[in-house]
Amino acid sequence: MIYLDAAATTPVRREVLEAMWPYLTGEFGNPASHHELGARALDGLDDARARVASVLGCRPSEVVFTSGGTESNNLAVKGLVLPMVGEALSAGGSGAVDAGAGQVHVAVSAIEHSAVLESARYLERWHGVDVFVLPVDSSGVVSADSLESCVASWDGKGVVSIMYANNEVGTVQDIAALSAVAHRYGALFHTDAVQAAGWLPLKVSELGVDALSISGHKLGAPKGCGVLYVSRSEQIESVTSGGGQERGLRSGTVSVANAVAMATALELAEFERLSRVSDMSAMRDRFISRVRELVPSVVLTGLEPAEGNRLPNNVSFIFPGFNGESVLLELERRGVICSSGSACAAGSTDPSHVLIALGISEDDARTAVRFTLPVTITAEDLERAANLLSESIVHLANLRQK
């Protein structure tokens, strides 16, 4: 099998499993318990928090452990906006929906993950928050000018959420420039860095963000663990009620094993990042060139590699005239595993909202296939995958002619 769906998930790394194993066995204590076993669990949790903080360049108290990217995004977008709605309500709003109208704003890009888009729509429906969807160009880039035009018109408070790197087409945004624009007009800035972690710099001071989301299973940690960085200087509201764990933002018994796994995977990914980006970029570029040689009708979506702002491990194509799901099935028959887009949209018959935002027609968007390269991939694997892709397209073309 040639696995080319790393954006969907990655296998648990042995180092991560070994690090978390004690907290699944002998050191199983609840970190909130006031006895020796609980104290040792708390020490493990504190150590994991400090290690994540070191990678992000923040204070340990600004690290919140979550179940993954979706929860982190929900907590960031809703949690940063709800205090603003509360202030508007206190200032004279007639109800929860009326309070936000015209006073509280959210801006998201058109290519955000559904966790961000749906969080924004929730705030719009139930709290009257004004939601602005920022356009992208044909490569998926959000311009600083379009963001400035949006936030400059706000006459109240607001939050901007723009993903660091897109999960479908790999486009990387200039987060430092975009966050500077938002802050110039008094808005807070959150970035979904789920796909960026392990490939791009994550120091929050350099990015200029108030909140940042990461998911562990994209980095070799188990599914069900993630991180939200959120600045201590900003007011944020919990979206779950309970015992007040994780700074009061995420009630419920904290999984120390998952926190340790998250910290270990993030440390390893950051340690290896610079040494593997160049090699992975070169393999990605060779794969793109080879596929273009073998399938001349293919169209790359997102930025061309020469433009430099594409994830090193992301390759996404459309195959005009072919059904994307059929291409996937033919590849799987030949031992190549990839996807048609976001794993979170699996089962949907709708074309990708990301590709539509790039100006791609619905018919062409349905032909999309995404290849995201794991860190263990080899040049030989990619050469074989390109050849098998060519075989698949030829087979489908022959079927179509019968």
User: Which residues are designated catalytic?
Assistant: 344
Residue linked to tokens 């990619």: 382
Nearest CA-CA partner of 142 in 364, 358, 368, 351: 358
- Type and span of the H or E element at 393: helix 379-401
**What is the spatial distance between Cα 402 and Cα 391, in angstroms, rounded to a whole number?**
17
**Cα→Cα distances 289→38, 102, 300, 368, Å:** 55, 49, 10, 17
**One-letter amino acid for residue 48 of the chain:** A
Burial class (CB in 10 A: 0-12, 13-18, 19+), 1: exposed
**What is the spatial distance between Cα 381 and Cα 220, in angstroms, rounded to a whole number?**
20
Burial class (CB in 10 A: 0-12, 13-18, 19+), 153: exposed
Q: 348: which 2 tokens?
A: 């949907």
| 8 Å CB contact between 284 and 144 | no
Q: Which residues of 366-376 are buried (b: 16+ CB within 10 A; e: fewer)?
A: bbbbbbbbbbe
Phi, psi of 372 (to 5 degrees): -120, 120
Collapsing DSSP states into helix, strand and coil, what is residue 307? helix
**What is the spatial distance between Cα 285 and Cα 314, in angstroms, rounded to a whole number?**
10
What does the angle CA 332 – CA 334 – CA 338 come to, to the nearest 5 degrees?
35
**Cα→Cα distances 270→197, 232, 342, Å:** 8, 24, 24
**What is the spatial distance between Cα 349 and Cα 161, in angstroms, rounded to a whole number?**
27
**What is the spatial distance between Cα 7 and Cα 337, in angstroms, rounded to a whole number?**
12
